[in-house]
Structure 1
Amino acid sequence: MAIGERIHFFRTMRGMTQKYLGLAVGFPERSADVRLAQYETGTRTPKADLTSALAQVLDVSPQALDVPDIDSYTGLMHTLFTLEDLYGLTVSDADGELCLRVDKDKGKSAYELLQMLSAWQEQAAKLAAGEITKEDYDRWRYHYPKYDTTQIRTRVPSKGFSDAFLKALSEEPDE
């Protein structure tokens, strides 16, 4: 999902109009809604400082807005293939259902991914058991790793790594 779609998703989830969000991040009143529409449709791409401002008003982490573009099934598959290469993510069968697994023996990065996925599973289990609300669960997801109490620190990939990852996803595979 492209950044504009994520902005739209969170804006509508929060019940905000384009004009309200545009004004909240400092656009002039006469063009606030038009500017927001440009970002949501992908006509314009927000720079880092605007992404941070949007995230703050939308009450999410900037990383929740700026995710890899997985608009197509092919793009999603190549994202998963990249995760296989980098973190040892594999697909397997467990009792007749497909499952994604992390090979923790693949290295430190794979182990760290496994820890993060375990934290996610823990929150999902709490939601299913009624221990936390959907709002609490969403706050945890959309601010990750801010509210993650299972890890002392979470290593976030560098901008260079993120750029290389996105570049690898956008390249056409050899046939």
Structure 2
Amino acid sequence: MVLGERIKRIRTFRGLTQRELGLKLGYEERNADVRIAQYESGYRVPKNNTLMEMAKILNVNYIHFIGVTPGCAEDIMLTFLWLDEDDRSTIHLFQLVRNPGKCNASDDKSVRYYDNDDWPAHAPVGIWLEYGLVNDFMREWCLRKEQLKSGEISEDEYFEWKINWPATSSSVDEKGNDKKNNSYKWRASS
């Protein structure tokens, strides 16, 4: 999702019109909505200080608007989160579990899956990252997607978790359970 689409998605999630956001940013009444429409369409790109102010107004982590260093852990995770926002059926997460009787038994790196209607016609390709921060994030994201699927959290809570990450991140143990919540309260029941 490009910057303008992110701004629009978060603005509408927060229930603001283009005019309301423009006025909160200090634009004149006569062109407040036009300026936001230009940002959302990609016709104009807001300056970083405008993006920082917009993030405050929209109550979202500024890293969703202001690019992070390409290839850093945050960039990888934000790419995944916005790809998921574009199409929830794109990314499927599942927790791998250790099989103690077979550890290091062979060089076979394949993960087996049952051929049924729940899986694609062609075998999916997995990725294993040896990057602690990304692994922790993926474990937590897997938990959040499972909570969404089971109805334990709502679509709005899931989106709130995503747009305020990493302030919403928790420590998740190997079994996928929350151990510690960070400062930002993203769940309605919290």
What does residue 146 of structure 1 align with? 167
Superposition pairs of residues 41-80 of structure 1, within 5 angstroms = 41-66=41-66
Percent of matched pairs sharing the same residue: 33
TM normalised by structure 1 equals: 0.61
Which one of 155, 175, 181 corresponds to residue 134 of structure 1? 155
SS in 2 for 1:150: strand
CA distance in structure 1 between the partners assigned to 2:160 and 2:62 by the alignment: 13
Higher helix share: 1
CA distance in structure 1 between the partners assigned to 2:58 and 2:125 by the alignment: 33
SS in 1 for 2:166: coil
1 or 2 for the larger relative contact order (CA 8 Å, sep ≥6)? 1
Which one of 99, 102, 125 corresponds to residue 128 of structure 2? 102
Following TM superposition, by how much is the alpha carbon of 1:128 offset from its aligned partner in structure 2, in angstroms? 2.1
Structure 2: gaps (5+ residues):
69-78, 81-109, 114-121, 173-179, 181-190
The answer to whether the 8 Å contact 2:48/2:66 transfers is no
1:10 aligns with 2:10: yes
The answer to whether the 8 Å contact 1:3/1:67 transfers is no
TM normalised by structure 2 equals: 0.57
CA distance in structure 1 between the partners assigned to 2:58 and 2:124 by the alignment: 35
Alpha-carbon RMSD = 2.8
Larger-Rg structure: 2
**How many pairs are equivalent?**
127
Amino acid at match of 2:166: P
What does residue 33 of structure 1 align with? 33
CA distance in structure 1 between the partners assigned to 2:35 and 2:41 by the alignment: 10
The answer to whether the 8 Å contact 1:18/1:37 transfers is yes
Structure 1: gaps (5+ residues):
69-78, 81-91, 105-109, 153-175
